[in-house]
Structures are given as C-alpha cells and as structure tokens.
Amino acid sequence: MVRIVKKEKLAPLVYRIEVEAPLVARHALAGQFVIVRAGEEGERIPLTVAGCDREKGLISLIFQAVGGSTYALAAKREGEFLADVAGPLGRPSAVEGIGRAAVVGGGVGCAIALPVAARLHELGARVVSVAGFRSREYVLLEREFGAVSDRLIVTTDDGSYGEKGNVCVPLARLLREERFDAVFAVGPLVMMKFVAETTRPFGIKTIASMNPIMIDGTGMCGCCRLSVGGETKFACVDGPEFDAHLIDFDEAIARSRTYAEFERVAREKNCNLLKGVE
C-alpha cells in the first residue's frame, strides 16, 4: 500500500498527487515512469514521475481523469492509499552533453516535459520552454516551468492566455532566432508530429516521448508497440523517448483512434465519481 501525502487539482480533470515511494524516489531519473494501481482490482496506469523528493522519499505524479481507473485515482483523497506503485521503468532522458535545448509540452504532456526541462537546467543547459494549452483554464505548471527555463512561452489555442495558436508557431520562430542542440517534445501525437516536421528542415535532433496504451510496462504485452525507423519498438522498454524524425506518427495516431470511443464512453460513465471531489 502506498500513501497519498498530498493532492491538488491543477486544471479541469487534471490532478497532482505526492505519494510515499522511497525506493522509486531514490532511483528515478527524468523521463522514467511508474505503473500505478488505485485499488486491488484496478487497472495498471503508467504515469511519468513528474518530480522526486529523495530525502522525504516522495514522488509526484500528474494525471488526467479520462477513464474508469484514472477517475478512481482522482477520487482518492490525501491520507488514503494506492494499491501499489512499481518502477522506475523505461529509459531515462538522454540529456547529458546538451548545452542548449528547447522543451515543448502540450496539455498534460507538460507533466512529462517538466522533469526533462528541470534536469537540463540542473546540468547547466540553456532551456527555452514552450507550453501549449487549449485555453487559460487548462494552463498548468507555469510557475514550475518558469523556475527551470531561461525563457518560457505559453500558448493557448483560443488566445485567452499567452500567445494565440499552437506551439509550432513560436518554436519555428525560436529555431530561426537561435541554435539548439536538441528539441524535446511531449504532448498529443498530432502535436509531436508537427513539432518533428517543424524541426526537420533545421536538421535539429528532436526527441518525442511516446505514451501509447500500456499494460505491463515490461515489454511482454506488446500493446505499446510503434514503428521507429522501420523497426518495431516498445515504448515501455525501448523508450519512452525516440527520435521524432524516425517515428511513424501516422501509424501511432491510427492505433490511438482505436481506443478513442472507449475513452469517450468511460469518461461519460465515470464522471459521477468526481462529484464533490477536489
């Protein structure tokens, strides 16, 4: 059993929890994830480690309630327990040796992009972050990104906060203004696809964090497979980060649409779980 020490709501249906997981906190690196179960009968939920307090043995997890298991997780309160947290899993972000980086996050993907930006900042790199959201009410982690970025640009689709438009507009401008050793992209598949196409003409190394449907997190189930450079890879053990210019995003998008209707039905069915819960 894993105790929830702190819980907060960051945006509509988006939550951050801090849980007691000293072994994970001791070993987790930027880019890695854990598998969480809210209850004994719950599904296995892969969540990126958004932050660690190694002294206190705490890890931060940020997630969006989109289905039955994540709604059940969101309904948990401070002081309550999760069935288990397994990890850290996946390969850490390859950030060593990078002096100048652009980190691009979209929506809840910013929760995954933040530890990458933080690690780059810790290593002394110049970090320029671009965070994109649907509208002002969905903006999250702005203060945290600002603390680890030399420059932060926030965009919203409707222009209700920051720059109006998608993240590729300021990214293209940045690429014309200064040189970067690498661009890290985390967010919806379509966003990462167009980030890759934006950086391709500049010949800049671009890394995308892939988060497909995942069950066991150890490469056994095969659900998280994707094509990278014409080869089949598994996001859980070979990634989750891959060369964005080699990923077959069209295939990944087509696979993700298989689950879109299930997600919609689950959202409608389980939204009552969160009534009165913060």
Taking the C-alpha atoms of residue 93 and residue 29, their distance in angstroms, rounded to an integer, is: 8
CATH architecture of 2-89: Beta Barrel (2.40)
CATH: 3.40.50.2300, 2.30.40.10, 3.40.50.80, 3.30.390.30. Which one for 100-211+250-257? 3.40.50.80
Taking the C-alpha atoms of residue 218 and residue 89, their distance in angstroms, rounded to an integer, is: 8
pLDDT at 16 over 60: yes
Q: What share of the chain is helix, strand, coil (3-state, %, to 5)?
A: 35, 35, 35
What confidence tens digit (pLDDT) does each residue in 48-85 have? 898 888 989 999 999 988 877 888 888 889 889 998 88
pTM of the predicted model as reported, rounded to 2 decimal places: 0.86
Q: What is the mean pLDDT of residues 190-214?
A: 90
What confidence tens digit (pLDDT) does each residue in 143-195 have? 999 999 999 999 999 999 999 999 999 999 999 999 999 999 999 989 999 99
Q: What is the mean pLDDT of residues 26-41?
A: 86
**Domain segments of the chain: what residues?**
2-89, 100-211+250-257
Taking the C-alpha atoms of residue 73 and residue 81, their distance in angstroms, rounded to an integer, is: 10
Q: What does the block give as tokens for 39? A: 């209850």
Q: What is the mean pLDDT of residues 210-223?
A: 71
Q: What is the mean pLDDT of residues 251-269?
A: 67
CB atoms within 10 A of CB 268: 9
What confidence tens digit (pLDDT) does each residue in 91-146 have? 888 888 899 999 999 998 998 899 999 999 999 999 999 999 999 999 999 999 99
Taking the C-alpha atoms of residue 269 and residue 255, their distance in angstroms, rounded to an integer, is: 23
Crossing angle of helices 189-199 and 249-257, rounded to 10°: 170
Identify the bridge partners of residue 4 per DSSP, sorted by sequence position: 19
Only one residue has tokens 């890879």, namely 233
What is residue 238's predicted lDDT score, i.e. its pLDDT?
81
What is residue 278's predicted lDDT score, i.e. its pLDDT?
55
DSSP state of 247: B
Q: How confident is the model at residue 200 (pLDDT cuts 50, 70, 90)?
A: very high
Q: How confident is the model at residue 212 (pLDDT cuts 50, 70, 90)?
A: low
Q: Which of 50, 140, 149 is nearest to 101 (CA)?
A: 149
- Cα dist. 262→17, 66, 268 in Å? 25, 10, 10
What is residue 219's predicted lDDT score, i.e. its pLDDT?
65
pLDDT at 275 over 70: no
| Peptide bond between residue 240 and the one before it cis (omega within 30 degrees of 0) | yes
Q: Which of 97, 129, 107, 134 is nearest to 116 (CA)?
A: 129
Taking the C-alpha atoms of residue 185 and residue 182, their distance in angstroms, rounded to an integer, is: 10
Q: Give residues with Cβ within 8 angstroms of 25, minimum separation 6.
A: 52, 53, 54, 56, 57, 58, 59
Q: What does the block give as tokens for 233? A: 């890879």
What is residue 203's predicted lDDT score, i.e. its pLDDT?
93
What is residue 246's predicted lDDT score, i.e. its pLDDT?
94
Q: Which of 271, 275, 209, 273 is nearest to 39 (CA)?
A: 273
Identify residue 75 by its one-letter amino acid code: A
